[in-house]
């Protein structure tokens, strides 16, 4: 099983990478934990699987692309 985890904007700078591959995860929250050395998942972070918004309990399957990014603001 291979899952691609992507980080955008300020998260990319905090994590120090834009993309990480992990071997398994059952949920988006578990994918975050594996990709981020068990760091707590911030409550304000947006999440997507294959470019569709999901919550932290969404199921993950082989080949999925998970994206984490801060809320988008405009002005």
Q: What domain count does the chain have?
A: 1
pLDDT in tens, 36-69: 999 999 999 999 999 999 999 999 999 999 999 9
Q: Give the CATH number of the domain where residue 16 resides.
A: 3.10.20.30
Q: Is residue 38 part of a domain?
A: yes
Question: Which residue range forms the structural domain that includes residue 65?
Answer: 3-69
Question: Residue 15: pLDDT above 70?
Answer: yes
Percent of the chain, pLDDT > 70? 96
At a CB cut-off of 8 Å and minimum separation 6, what does 13 contact?
none
Q: H or E stretch including 35?
A: helix 28-35
Mean of pLDDT over the chain:
94
Q: Is residue 40 part of a domain?
A: yes
């Amino acid at each position: 099983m291979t899952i691609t985890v992507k980080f955008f904007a300020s998260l990319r700078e905090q994590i120090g990478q834009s993309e990480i591959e992990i071997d398994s995860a059952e949920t988006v929250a578990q994918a975050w934990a594996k990709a981020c050395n068990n760091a707590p998942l911030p409550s304000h972070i947006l999440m997507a699987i294959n470019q569709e918004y999901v919550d932290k309990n969404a199921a993950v399957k082989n080949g999925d692309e998970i994206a984490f990014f801060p809320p988008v603001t405009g002005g």
